[in-house]
Amino acid sequence: MGMSARWAVKALAAPAALAVLLASPGCVDIVGADLGQAKYVERDEKHFSVSGTPDLTFITFDGSIEIRPWDKAEVQVVVEKRGRDKQDVDLIEVKATQDGNRLEVAVTEPNSRGGFNFEFNHHRSARLFVSVPSTSDVSARSGDGSIDIENVSGKVQLRSGDGSINGRMLSGAVNANTGDGSIQLADIKGDLNATTGDGRITLNGQLTSVHARSGDGSVVVEAEPGSAAEADWDITTGDGSVTLAVPDGFGAELDAHTGDGGIRMEDISLSNVSGKIGRNSVRGTLGAGGRNVRVRTGDGSITLRRF
């Protein structure tokens, strides 16, 4: 399916509402909504030539970001700007800067019309649909929206002020941070750093380094065969359960503790046990030992099992 067909949005007619659809870059939609209110949409499509491993940054003040790979030596960005009307949408600015293989596309919202912003319910947003070379360093930031990326190899940095983060089939170093949302990263090869203020973290893949921290949510880390602790691991939640699954032959020094919960070990054994073994703490050597794997929860159970 072509890019324009894939991202085409149909106008939905409603009584007393005008519906217009222009299926081309820069098109305008007026979509009927409940109570006779209208939603105004403009789209802009931009292309940038790149080579090698480009360094790409995509930013939006409020809206989701979707990133997909393709086999072209260029970057395509479709910006979907939404607001109550054309005047509303015209306040949204798209700025693109490129210096060789370094590219930044930033969508911003000025504070006001005429210098002051007294609008508390403006409903402006800007979604980004991005196509990049499969080998790229990518940074994606949304002030208030979800981020979804798949099948990219390189340094990946994902940040949302208030939205979920999802990634699949990523290789390299992945850093994901959200103030209030879940993080789900599957089939990852490499280093992972995931932080959320209030959400669930689920990590899966051939992992070499893991730093996962949730203020108030469960954490699940599944290290597939081929995983190895090439650096220290730190898995922490303030108020939630933790599950850590490791494959046969995985070596590390384990230090697990829960402030108010139990620790279960399923089909996994420790040697060189030291310190206190009890309801709240387990320390010992996994396999041949190696780097430290630290697991902490303030108020939740810990499950250690074989993958």
Please provide the DSSP assignment of 203-231 as one string: EEEEEEEEEEEESSS-EEEEE-TT---SS
Residues of the chain with pLDDT under 50: 1-24, 32-38, 112-118, 120
pLDDT of residue 275: 61
Neighbours of 250 (CB within 10 A): 22
Per DSSP, the three-state class of 34 is helix
**pLDDT score of 276:** 61
Phi, psi of 232 (to 5 degrees): -65, 145
pLDDT of residue 260: 86
User: What confidence score (pLDDT) does residue 9 get?
Assistant: 36
What pTM was computed for the model?
0.85
pLDDT score at 272: 87
pLDDT for the residue 6: 36
Q: Is 304 left (phi over 0), alpha (psi -120 to 50) or beta?
A: beta
**Tokens encoding 128:** 């980004």
pLDDT of residue 164: 98
Alpha carbons 106 and 264: distance in angstroms, whole number: 47
Q: Give me the residue spans of the domains in the chain.
A: 164-307
